[in-house]
Structure 1
């Protein structure tokens, strides 16, 4: 797959709320995920761990009201998308968040993802 095809497929799967499928299909076995500095356990390595992180994130939410995802912007072996989420958590509180997601591609697979968002405080 080209980087454009990978980026378009990630956007499609994300818009359809199929993050586990996105990891299985598009990510390298040794891929890494990075949250903002200071987030506990903010760096995760390995496909199985990325899937577990994604599934744990999904389980924190009772209902997802909206999950907008922008079209990708591609430059060299990187692409970025903007993502938002409007959710009701398991405790009943409703929360909205927005982030920029940056992905690095090598040999037809995503090898690194980084999330940039405002930290509370």
Structure 2
């Protein structure tokens, strides 16, 4: 990846629309990463300052978007279970992050050009 020191504050945001209504973006991917780290949908939601219900609805939407689930429940244990990423979920995160990196690399020169021509902050 090329250096983005000059244009660090300008960043393209990757969002993929799945017509008619579904979207995949950095919020859902970040939720998956938090589920990976915490082993829990509720803990992942708290880490992102969202309710369990909101986190669960996003996971449900992700699982319905594809032909296999990204997150699956983890049964049992002292804590009563949790959640974990499936192999597909892990690959989804890795591929999305790789797409973000390629997008940044592809637009690096254009972002530097835009940044050099920005008006100074008021």
Larger proportion of helix = 2
Q: Structures share a fold, TM > 0.5? A: no
Larger proportion of strand = 1
> TM-score with structure 2 length normalisation?
0.25
